[in-house]
Amino acid sequence: MTVAPPPRPRTWPRTLAVWAVVAVITAIAASPLIGIDLGAGFGAIGKNWQNGVTKLVELFQLDWRILPRTLPPLLQTIEMAVAGTAVSALLAIPLSLWSARLTNPWAPARGIVRFVLNIVRAIPDLLYAAILVAMVGVGALPGILALILLDVAIIVKLVAEAIDAGSDGALEAGRAAGGTQFQINRTLALPDMWPAFTSQTLYVLELNVRVSAVLGLVGAGGLGLLIDEVRTFFHYDQLAVIILELLAVIVILELGSSWLRRRLT
Amino acid sequence: MSAVNARLGSVVPPRPRHWWRWIVALVLAAVVVAVFLALPVAWNRLGDLPGEIVHYLWLMFSSPDWSKLPEALWQTWRSVAMAWIGTVLSIIVATPLGILAARGVGPRWLQIVLRVVFGVVRAVPEIIIAIIILSVTGLTPLTGALAIGVSGVGTLGKWGYEAVETVPGGAVEAVRASGGRLTDEIRWALWPAVAPAFLSFWLYRFEISVRASAVLGLIGVGGIGDMLTSYTQYREWATVGVLVLVVVVVTMALDALSGAVRRRIMEGSPIRDLAGQ
């Protein structure tokens, strides 16, 4: 007895359609009339490249004299990152419990928190900073506020997902024992949430150092102010020192936080 | 109960004492307090802050200047186009590099080089990449697209080799056993296994790129970020309100669209009702 193999599934029409859509969008996006004029872009490269390449070469001729000047802003960047992380971690504890299904059975309240945080997440960090600088003035404060907005949205989303992914046995036991939702959340859900919460907070701290280093480009304090100054004068030899410094800080922070995360979980 | 306790001796273990947790908490609190004291912020002005923010939100959204909407949409489209081109560029570069950087695919030295490159690129914010390359490319949208492209290579490359390394070795061994070379292994064993994940990464990276492209406008490469900074500097809050609304709506819409496609790719089509057949 022979069994006929099933026919090969015909996937090529769909694959072709997907690639066609991608190609059409790319063509529209790259067309000079209605997209981003790539022709003009390449024209600019043609005009600039000789000057530009000498600038890029400067990147590798590090000018270490700027190093002492970079340390205070770098410290401020780290301070902003820590301050932003601390405030948003505190705000995120109740909000996470509020927006997870297991710890807040009332759907409308959950929906409101999630909807607001989705809106908050839709605006990029530097745009917040640009608007907040115009609102509350130049300095570290608008930067910290921008970081808090960004961080709360991230921590709450990820921690709430972690809470919902956990098991609800203990919470049910608490309910059976007659606990109010607040008592259940405080004594049962909160200890369960710690590992996810700490690991997301560490992640946000790393992210904050990266972000707060550039927030100064719009006037929100920290290393970005110096980056902005250096770039206006095209001092790429100094820019390279700042970038290296930032890389070093980020690598140290990542090593530290991954060590901590291993210890905690 | 007491009988059981009596039989087993002291069955109740001593309550664990987490004294080190208190030390960690105290140190953390001290660091945070020190940071707040060190920051040059007039904390006594903090009380006025909520009032001020409400005031500015009122200026922004009480009577938005809708006459700027067409230009806002046009600039948003330019930002999205920048994000799209940048993402396409990074896909073209990062897909082969990401596969080669996976353990067991490329040579060892190449893996190390590629991983370091991906790591460095990921650590540098897009806007700094744009500042670096704009001396060659000038202040054009192409600069934004290239910056997004470079930055995307870092993320897509990392996600790529991580995904390839999760593929079980069986299929690769089978291809090798039937005489396939490295290109055959990639085409017939690795690619079919990782393609859905890769497609999903590409879409997710596009979502990130859309946000990045809005930010890149701040240094003047065009798009919605450019428009937003100029109107913020002129303090034309009625227009800023419109721009913020456009950014929120467009970003959320693109996220929802891309998220739906990603779920469809990763979870497959909804189960069809076969009973009707």
DSSP B132-196: HHHHHH-SSHHHHHHHHHHHHHHHHHHHHHHHHHTS-THHHHHHHHTT--HHHHIIIIIHHHHHH
Collapse the DSSP code of A240 into the 3-class scheme (helix H, G, I; strand E, B; otherwise coil) and give the result: helix
DSSP A139: S
**Spacing of C-alpha B259 from chain mean position:** 13
Torsion angles phi and psi, residue B274, rounded to 5: -85, -10
Structure tokens at B229: 């900074």
Contact A36 B211 (CB under 8 A): no
Residue A218 with chain B: CB contacts under 8 Å: 218, 229
- Out of B53, B80, B128, the one facing A243 most closely (by C-beta) is B128
Query: Among A126, A128, A233, which would you mutate to test the B interface (most chain B Cβ atoms within 10 Å of its Cβ)?
Result: A126
Q: Quick: pLDDT tens for A24-35.
A: 988 888 877 676
Measured in angstroms, the CA of A124 and the nearest CA of chain B are apart by 6
Beta carbons of A92 and A151 less than 8 angstroms apart:
yes
The Cβ of residue A2 has, within 10 Å, a number of other Cβ atoms equal to 4
Residue B56 with chain A: CB contacts under 8 Å: 135
Q: Could you tell me the CATH number of the domain that includes residue A132?
A: 1.10.3720.10
For chain A, state the CA radius of gyration. Answer: 25
The reply to whether CATH 3.20.20.70 applies to domain B65-267 is no
Show the domain range for A115: 64-264
Query: Among B45, B124, B128, B233, which would you mutate to test the A interface (most chain A Cβ atoms within 10 Å of its Cβ)?
Result: B128
Residue A150 with chain B: CB contacts under 8 Å: none
> What whole-number distance in Å separates Cα of residue B187 and Cα of residue B105?
12
Has residue A101 been placed in a domain? yes
**pLDDT of the residue at B277:** 46
For chains A and B, CB pairs below 8 A equal: 166
Structure tokens at B108: 């060892």
Has residue A15 been placed in a domain? no
Measured in angstroms, the CA of A182 and the nearest CA of chain B are apart by 23
Query: Among A75, A80, A123, A127, which would you mutate to test the B interface (most chain B Cβ atoms within 10 Å of its Cβ)?
Result: A127
pLDDT band for B205, please (50, 70, 90 cuts): very high
| Rounded (5°) CA angle B123-B138-B230 | 85
DSSP A138: S
- Out of A25, A59, A76, the one facing B84 most closely (by C-beta) is A25
Q: Which of A102, A265, A231, A206 is nearest to B119 (CA)?
A: A206
**pLDDT of the residue at B175:** 92
Amino acid at A10: R
pLDDT band for B273, please (50, 70, 90 cuts): low
In this prediction, what percent of chain A has a pLDDT beyond 70? 98
Comparing B185 with B8, the larger pLDDT belongs to: B185
Contact A210 B35 (CB under 8 A): no
Chain A contact present for B40, CB below 8 A: yes
Contact B131 A231 (CB under 8 A): yes
> What whole-number distance in Å separates Cα of residue A79 and Cα of residue A77?
5
Contact B84 A234 (CB under 8 A): no
Residue A25 with chain B: CB contacts under 8 Å: 84
Structure tokens at A52: 């530009």
Q: Which residue of A has its CA nearest to B229?
A: A130
**Residue with tokens 């590090």, as numbered in its chain:** A62
Q: Which of B98, B127, B141 is nearest to B218 (CA)?
A: B127
First to last CA, chain B: 62
> What is the number of domains present in chain A?
1
Structure tokens at A260: 């901590």
Has residue A9 been placed in a domain? no
Q: Which residue of A has its CA nearest to B54?
A: A135
Chain A contact present for B142, CB below 8 A: yes
Contact B84 A246 (CB under 8 A): no
Beta carbons of B111 and B188 less than 8 angstroms apart:
no
Q: Which residue of A has its CA nearest to B24?
A: A260
Q: Quick: pLDDT tens for A161-192.
A: 888 888 888 888 888 998 888 888 888 888 88
Structure tokens at A131: 């608007």
Measured in angstroms, the CA of B167 and the nearest CA of chain A are apart by 23
Q: Quick: pLDDT tens for B76-130.
A: 999 999 999 999 999 999 999 999 999 888 899 999 999 999 999 988 888 999 9
> What whole-number distance in Å separates Cα of residue B91 and Cα of residue B99?
12
> What whole-number distance in Å separates Cα of residue B8 and Cα of residue A262?
37
Measured in angstroms, the CA of A6 and the nearest CA of chain B are apart by 18
Residue B25 CB contacts under 8 Å (≥ 6 apart), including other chains: none
Comparing A88 with A258, the larger pLDDT belongs to: A88
Has residue A153 been placed in a domain? yes
- Out of B40, B127, B142, the one facing A41 most closely (by C-beta) is B142
Has residue A73 been placed in a domain? yes
Q: Quick: pLDDT tens for B11-52.
A: 778 877 778 888 888 998 999 999 888 888 877 777 888 888
> What whole-number distance in Å separates Cα of residue B238 and Cα of residue B52?
16
The answer for A221, left when phi > 0, alpha when psi is -120 to 50, beta otherwise, is left
Has residue A215 been placed in a domain? yes
**pLDDT of the residue at A139:** 85
**pLDDT of the residue at A32:** 75
Query: Among B59, B85, B205, which would you mutate to test the A interface (most chain A Cβ atoms within 10 Å of its Cβ)?
Result: B85
**pLDDT of the residue at B174:** 92
Contact A130 B229 (CB under 8 A): yes
DSSP A189: I
Buried b (16+ CB within 10 A) or exposed e, A220-229: bbbbbbbbbe
Residue A133 with chain B: CB contacts under 8 Å: 232
The domains of chain B are located at 13-60, 65-267
Q: Quick: pLDDT tens for A85-101.
A: 999 999 999 999 999 98
Q: Which residue of B has its CA nearest to A31?
A: B81
**pLDDT of the residue at B63:** 84
Residue B35 with chain A: CB contacts under 8 Å: 79, 82-83, 86
Q: Is B141 exposed, middle or buried (0-12, 13-18, 19+ CB in 10 A)?
A: buried
Q: Quick: pLDDT tens for B133-182.
A: 888 888 888 889 999 999 999 999 999 999 999 988 888 999 999 998 88
**Residue with tokens 């910056």, as numbered in its chain:** B147
DSSP codes of every residue in chain B = -HHHHHHHSS-SPPPP--HHHHHHHHHHHHHHHHHHHHS---GGGGGGHHHHHHHHHHHHHSS--GGGHHHHHHHHHHHHHHHHHHHHHHHHHHHHHHHHTSTTTS-HHHHHHHHHHHHHHHHS-HHHHHHHHHHHH-SSHHHHHHHHHHHHHHHHHHHHHHHHHTS-THHHHHHHHTT--HHHHIIIIIHHHHHHHHHHHHHHHHHHHHHHHHHHGGGTS-SHHHHHHHHHHTT-HHHHHHHHHHHHHHHHHHHHHHHHHHHHHHH-SPPP--TT-
Span B175-195, average pLDDT? 90
Q: Which residue of A has its CA nearest to B235?
A: A134
**pLDDT of the residue at B248:** 93
Q: Is A95 exposed, middle or buried (0-12, 13-18, 19+ CB in 10 A)?
A: buried
Has residue A19 been placed in a domain? no
**pLDDT of the residue at B178:** 92
Contact B136 A52 (CB under 8 A): yes
Q: Which of residues 151-210 of B touch A (CB under 8 A)?
A: none
Residue B142 with chain A: CB contacts under 8 Å: 36-38, 40-42, 44-45
Has residue A3 been placed in a domain? no
Query: Among B21, B24, B31, B35, which would you mutate to test the A interface (most chain A Cβ atoms within 10 Å of its Cβ)?
Result: B35
Structure tokens at A203: 């992640």
| Rounded (5°) CA angle B90-B91-B92 | 90
The per-residue pLDDT of chain A, averaged, comes to: 87
pLDDT at residue A38 tops 60: yes
**Residue with tokens 């055959």, as numbered in its chain:** B184
Q: What is the pTM of this model?
A: 0.86
Structure tokens at A114: 């999630």
pLDDT at residue B276 tops 60: no
